[in-house]
Amino acid sequence: MMGRYLILGALLAPAPALALDPPASPEAKVREMADYLEAVADPRRGVYIRGYTGQWYYARVQGNCPRLTRSASLRFNPSPGGDFDRNSSLRADGWRCMIASVVESAGPPRPHRR
């Protein structure tokens, strides 16, 4: 009899929340990726993209992207519909890198002047 109550209690108890890191800002999409204005690589980690509206975005790649360097030749493969989002990919010097997330950004960091 006691076993039934324990099972029933376990089923009715609220499930514990998963400890996932919340994104720093909400997911975004770069609209009409064919008309983007500028892209600046963040070596091995992602790329800053300035959309046709002037808004900057940061696209983080999944894992490591070894050929994503500051001088890499970049080619963007948007999702169907032409938007660039977490279902898109990019090619850095021919190496395919899947996108983990796209968020709005203030733009790439300014270079240090000496």
Give the tens place of pLDDT for each residue, 50-84: 999 999 999 999 999 999 999 999 999 999 888 99
The closest alpha carbon to 53, from 29, 25, 77, 75, belongs to: 29
CB 43 within 8 A of CB 102: no
Note if the pTM is more than 0.85. no
CA distances (Å), origin 105, targets 25, 33, 50, 79: 9, 16, 9, 20
The predicted structure's pLDDT at residue 14? 47
pLDDT at 20: 36
| CA–CA gap between residue 67 and residue 91 (Å, rounded) | 9
Q: pLDDT tens digits for 19-28?
A: 334 345 688 9
Q: Which helix (H) or strand (E) holds 10?
A: helix 2-12
